[in-house]
Chains A and B, each alone.
Chain A
Amino acid sequence: MSTSATEREPRAAESAPDRGRTPRRGWSDLPSPLRHLLFAALALAAVTGLLLVTGDLTALRMAAVGYTMLAVAGLQLLTGGSGQVSLGHGAFMMIGAYTMALLVLNLPMLPLAVNLVLVVAVAVVAGIAVGAATARLHGPYLAGATLILAVGLPGLTHRYHEVFGGSNGLTVHTAGAPPFLQGLVSDSEWKALVVWTAVVLALAVLATISTGRLGRRMRTVRDDETAAAMSGIPVGGTKVTAFVIASAAGGLAGGLQVYVLGTATPSMFTLALSLTLLAALVLGGIGSMWGALWAALAVVYLEIWLSDAVRAFDLSKDVENNLPIVLFGVLLILVLRFQPLGLHGILQRLRALLRRAR
């Protein structure tokens, strides 16, 4: 959940002169994994607080924000970090979701944590397979190949109908709040908490990677592959690693989605989902982990607000179903045209203005 290295550097430079030689004891002195874990704990506390004061419906929406954010953060590392444009991120969510559903159906005795670990493992394997196959593709070629993956993968559920349940998908029942908490938190609130715990842990890992050596290598590869290779960075390996991490994040997000919703169908993982994730990433702000949060909030709440608005104006069913996606597209184009850094860019500019005013 931290900002990227490029953003932290100016702040460090500013604070250096007035502190003199005395080492600064504080937030940024902590080793980066610890800092990110502390931040994760803070975020989890904030989410718990929010859950306690709001109702069941909000809990489900917050859970949706959580797993969407994780998926977008993975894509952020891949596209914003290593510069690989993936139009097939939804496919990895689908892999995670179906793995989760199959695990719950076929091995009901496994605890949730084991399931999630297995989901990540399967997503990693899928990521290695796809990432290794596409490591030599660049720019538009990679975008094209991942587009094909996103369109083609849902077809498998029809092909292997008896395993994946065809277009009806798989329905599972996941346990709610444990007995000793019954009455204290509702099932949805418990699920939202579980989702957010997994999400903040995963985000701490992603942020640590992104600010560490691997993240720096990815950005070097993104900026210039040839120059990166000449400075001794294994270009192919770095790209595949980024791909695998992103698909693990996507898979975990898909698994959590099934845990909350209790169902996995091919219509949840259409091309539109993959495109929406990428669009949301750009809306939120590419190049910063914070962008993923704004992106997830935008995906979940924009749709809710829009359907409310549509209902208020009493529009037809066709309009109601399609308006969110149209507005999403329009917003995307406007942001690209006038604010290429997205919401996070706007916030940063505001912060800079405030600092100057002070």
Chain B
Amino acid sequence: MDHFVDLTLSGLASGAVYAALALSLVIIYQATRLVNFAQPAIALIAVYTAATVAPLTGSYWVGFVAALTVGAAAGALVERFVVRPIARVSQLNGIIVTLGLLLVAQGGVGMIWGNEQHGFSYAFDFVGRPSPADVFALVSVAVVAALLFCLYRFTPLGLRMRAAAFRPEAARLSGVKVGLMLTTGWAISALIASLAGMLAGPPFISPNVFDIVFVYGITAAVVGGLDNPFGAIIGGLLVGLGMSYVSGYAGPELATLTALALVVLVLSVRPDGILSRPTARKV
């Protein structure tokens, strides 16, 4: 029973991370119909920034802020100067350019910091049940999700962003700067991905550290529906719990393939995720 409680607690904490990543994917997908496979690259740049800045200044939190800032800036720049000119050609090109960015970022991080693992500290103590670090993960992701909800629902900026995503032409005619809104969306998404990276990175970071985390993040997003932020959060928590039980009881090597089975199972019943509505289309 103890084992079960431990697995549930750690599953919820890692589920919060997957939910954050899934949320960041959904924000971009809603705005541009593009799954950003470069999201782990942004998280990678963020954690390595933190790992460099924190020892220099002696404070974890200076590194934390630096990581989120650099991550968000990277997201905005990449959208404006790399992804936008390419992704408008076709969906395939959009997917492939984000993969190219992932290759560049992983290789670039390896060139600067090396391929071997570096130690990376937690924000809080990681012992205890639930440990302060786990609580911090859950609370920070919940706060981010709430802020995001308020931003989209109650602010003029959120309204413009929704308009730009939903009907770009009409939004442009009403004076919304659609391009700027897309860049803002990417920056917010990159900020959340950076947060997820800061939560998922410890205790060790290496250029490939987020591959598995991203796999669960994308599982969560796909299961919840790429179109639905609430689905992303529910999906993230479900995947976190499920993977925690599978690794705890059956072995960690099987967790990834279980994620695949989960994706296939959910999507063959509901091709657009748990929470999405079916769409009609004219031929």
Q: Judge: A and B partners, yes or no.
A: yes
In the bound complex, do residue B218 and residue A336 qualify as a contact, i.e. CB atoms below 8 Å apart? no
Asked if A322 lies at the interface with its beta carbon under 8 angstroms from chain B, I say yes
In the bound complex, do residue B95 and residue A85 qualify as a contact, i.e. CB atoms below 8 Å apart? yes
Asked if B96 lies at the interface with its beta carbon under 8 angstroms from chain A, I say yes
Distance of A358 from chain B, by nearest CB (Å): 32
In the bound complex, do residue B271 and residue A136 qualify as a contact, i.e. CB atoms below 8 Å apart? yes
In the bound complex, do residue A333 and residue B95 qualify as a contact, i.e. CB atoms below 8 Å apart? no
In the bound complex, do residue A271 and residue B211 qualify as a contact, i.e. CB atoms below 8 Å apart? yes
Residues of B within 8 A of A330 (CB): 100, 104
**Those of A48-77 within 8 Å (CB) of chain B:** none
Q: When A151-B211, A279-B96, A318-B111 are in contact, do A145 and B263 touch as well, CB less than 8 Å? A: yes
Binary CB contact string for chain A from 280 to 292 against chain B (1 if under 8 A, 0 otherwise): 0010001000000
In the bound complex, do residue A140 and residue B95 qualify as a contact, i.e. CB atoms below 8 Å apart? yes
A-B CB contacts (within 8 Å), total count: 159
**Those of A245-259 within 8 Å (CB) of chain B:** none
In the bound complex, do residue A329 and residue B268 qualify as a contact, i.e. CB atoms below 8 Å apart? no
Asked if A278 lies at the interface with its beta carbon under 8 angstroms from chain B, I say yes
**Those of A94-140 within 8 Å (CB) of chain B:** 133-134, 136-140
In the bound complex, do residue B97 and residue A152 qualify as a contact, i.e. CB atoms below 8 Å apart? no
In the bound complex, do residue B100 and residue A279 qualify as a contact, i.e. CB atoms below 8 Å apart? yes
Asked if B173 lies at the interface with its beta carbon under 8 angstroms from chain A, I say no
Distance of B121 from chain A, by nearest CB (Å): 23
Binary CB contact string for chain B from 206 to 244 against chain A (1 if under 8 A, 0 otherwise): 011001100100110110001000000000000000000
Question: Which of A133, A322, A324 is packed against the most chain B CB atoms within 10 Å?
Answer: A322
Taking a contact as CB atoms closer than 8 A, the residue among B100, B112, B256 that contacts A155 in the complex is B256
Binary CB contact string for chain B from 23 to 67 against chain A (1 if under 8 A, 0 otherwise): 000000100001101000000000000000000000000000000
Asked if B10 lies at the interface with its beta carbon under 8 angstroms from chain A, I say no
Asked if B99 lies at the interface with its beta carbon under 8 angstroms from chain A, I say yes
Stretch from A3-11, A181-189, A223-231, A295-303 that touches the partner: A223-231
Question: Which of B93, B96, B254 is packed against the most chain A CB atoms within 10 Å?
Answer: B96
- Please, how many angstroms separate the alpha-carbon atoms of A276 and B100 in the complex? 9
Taking a contact as CB atoms closer than 8 A, the residue among A136, A158, A286 that contacts B268 in the complex is A136
Taking a contact as CB atoms closer than 8 A, the residue among B102, B111, B222, B256 that contacts A319 in the complex is B111
Q: B97 — nearest CB in chain A belongs to which residue?
A: A336
Chain A interface size band reads 35 or more
Q: When A136-B271, A318-B115 are in contact, do A329 and B256 touch as well, CB less than 8 Å? A: no
In the bound complex, do residue B103 and residue A326 qualify as a contact, i.e. CB atoms below 8 Å apart? yes
Q: A229 — nearest CB in chain B belongs to which residue?
A: B283
Asked if B260 lies at the interface with its beta carbon under 8 angstroms from chain A, I say yes
Asked if B251 lies at the interface with its beta carbon under 8 angstroms from chain A, I say yes
Distance of B116 from chain A, by nearest CB (Å): 9
Q: How many chain-B residues does the 8 Å CB contact rule pick out?
A: 55
- Please, how many angstroms separate the alpha-carbon atoms of A271 and B40 in the complex? 13
B interface vs A, CB < 8 Å? 29, 34-35, 37, 82, 85-86, 89, 91-93, 95-97, 99-104, 106-108, 110-115, 207-208, 211-212, 215, 218-219, 221-222, 226, 251-257, 259-260, 263-264, 267-268, 271, 281, 283
A interface vs B, CB < 8 Å? 79, 83, 85, 87, 133-134, 136-141, 143-145, 147-149, 151-153, 155-156, 158-159, 224, 226-227, 230, 270-272, 275-276, 278-279, 282, 286, 318-319, 321-326, 328-330, 332-333, 336-337, 340
Given A144-B221, A145-B263, A337-B86, 20 other A-B contacts at CB below 8 A?
Answer: A85-B92, A133-B264, A140-B34, A141-B263, A143-B35, A144-B222, A145-B260, A145-B264, A149-B257, A151-B211, A152-B260, A155-B255, A159-B251, A271-B211, A272-B106, A282-B96, A329-B100, A329-B107, A330-B104, A336-B86
Give 24 pairs: A residue, B residue, CB < 8 Å, sorted on A.
A136-B267, A138-B271, A141-B222, A141-B226, A141-B267, A144-B222, A145-B263, A145-B264, A148-B218, A148-B256, A151-B256, A152-B259, A155-B255, A270-B208, A275-B99, A279-B99, A319-B111, A325-B107, A328-B107, A333-B97, A333-B101, A336-B96, A336-B100, A337-B82
Rank and list the top 6 A-B pairs by shortest CB-CB distance, nearest first. A152-B256, A329-B103, A329-B104, A326-B107, A159-B253, A322-B110
